[in-house]
Amino acid sequence: MSAPTRAAATPVADVRLPLRLPTAGATFVVGIAGYLGVNLSPYMIAAAQEGTGSDLEAASWLVTGALLLTALTGLGVARLCAGARRRPVARIGLALAVVGFGVAALVPALIPAGLLVGGAGAGGAVAASGAALAAFRNPDRVAGLNGLANRALITVILAVVPLIGLAPLNVFGTLALCSLVALVLVAWLPATPAATVHAAAAVGEAVPIEVPPTGTVRAAAVPSRTVTVAGMVLLVVFALWAVSEDSLWAMAGVMGAAQAALTPEGLGIALSGATAGGLIGTIALVAIGDRLGRGIPLLVLMIAGGVLKIAQGYITDPTVFIVVFIVWNSIYAVAFMYFVATAAALDADGRWSGPLLAVYLVGSALTPVIGAQLVALLGYAGFTLILGIASFVLAVPATIVGLLSRRLERAAREVSA
């Protein structure tokens, strides 16, 4: 048997999947189940207080610990989700989430242990769904649909859970039930493509193709150094951006009350309006798709968001405060989806979209503490000024990576044509 020969260096063609309901639905639901604890954290704190008899601070730290475990576990298994182990990771993670949250719902004495186990399990779902997003064509539209499904379902859950009560059985039982539904759907989670799209030719690097004796051509997926650097930069930028965005979200209530006489009812309008604005933004992204690219939209959105964050620190009228808050959060929602689309476009295996959502959790989990410390040190105006400047600075590398991801995607399409 003769040794394999090597053909001329050729970039790998695009192997992403078309958007279909079974695979896309499974991806979205698994991601929602993994992130549900983040969205239900206020309810989880109340349920933990009732179930354990602890005070607010202890319950808050318990839930924070569970969310940090979600983030750290997601980061730890993200590399596995960019390979053949994506579905097993999702199954194991969701099974742990079902058991952990189920135990917390049924056995009050085991609430701390149950939440920590459930939080760790949710990290597997976050990483697996994030990596699976990269398997589809048109990452911008997929990211928009994912955000739309997430916000729509979360809005319903957030409205229904208080109606049935914030007891441990109801809150933690909801988490367990959603994890169970996602566990059933893991079988439809898209697997890693047989050949990875890196479009190395776009950055001056060729991907060799090996030709075995049988004559079958097998693409050797070799990630370029440029893509690796871009992916690492994107993760760091996204984590820092998460801190700047969620710090303002965490401080919005106390800041609005202190400087604009914002009432609890006004805060409720601001939060619900922000959710509605985010839904409108994600619908727009679904409709636009990739027509505007990613680099320029990221630049415009992050600069506009920075300006609005700075303005928020100087507003003294409650109505204006609510309007600016809603507009800022709507811009944030669209920018978030563009970050997801950029990560997904860099690598079809989900090498960067897998850890992206977990990285965001790391950045956002401690933002209430970070925000409070910055407010105490700088005051509200100084606090928002720092957050705005952070957006301006981070917009530069985010734009560069966004432009690169678009360039890689175009190169892959040209090879496929």
344-393 pLDDT, tens digit each = 888 888 889 889 988 888 877 777 778 888 888 999 999 999 999 999 99
Mean pLDDT for the chain? 83
The span from the CA of 242 to the CA of 319, in Å, is 26
pLDDT digit string, tens, across residues 243-262: 899 888 878 878 888 888 88
* C-alpha–C-alpha distance, residues 327 and 309, integer Å: 10
List C-alpha distances in Å: 335 to 279, 311, 324: 13, 19, 16
DSSP one-letter code for 63 = H
Residue appearing with tokens 């192997």: 15
Residue from 144, 146, 234 nearest 190 by CA: 146
Q: Per-residue pLDDT tens for 5-35?
A: 333 333 444 577 888 889 999 999 999 999 8
Q: Backbone dihedral region of 192: left (phi > 0), alpha (psi from -120 to 50 degrees) or beta?
A: beta
The pLDDT score that the predictor gives to residue 146 is 87
For residue 213, pLDDT beyond 70:
no
Q: How many Cα atoms are found within 13 Å in the side-chain-facing hemisphere of 321? A: 26
Helix (H) or strand (E) holding 76: helix 56-81
How many Cβ atoms from other residues are within 10 Å of residue 319's Cβ? 12
pLDDT at res. 350: 84
For the four alpha carbons of 249, 255, 259 and 265, in that order, the dihedral sign comes to positive
pLDDT, average across residues 143-164: 85
Contact 317, 270 (CB under 8 A): no
Q: What distance in Å separates the CA atoms of residue 272 and residue 38, rounded to the nearest whole number?
A: 17
Per-residue pLDDT tens over the stretch 389-410: 999 999 999 999 999 988 877 7
Cα–Cα distance for residue pair 174/363, rounded to 1 Å: 25
Query: Looking at the predicted structure, is the pLDDT value of residue 3 above 50?
Result: no
Average pLDDT over residues 110-123: 96
Higher model confidence: residue 366 or residue 103? Answer: 103
**Burial (0-12, 13-18, 19+ Cβ within 10 Å), 311:** middle
**Per-residue model confidence as pLDDT tens digits over 51-72:** 999 887 788 889 889 989 999 9
The pTM of this model reads: 0.79
At position 99, the amino acid (one-letter code) is V
- Residue 17: phi, psi to the nearest 5? -95, 150
61 CB contacts (<8 Å, ≥6 apart)?
A: none
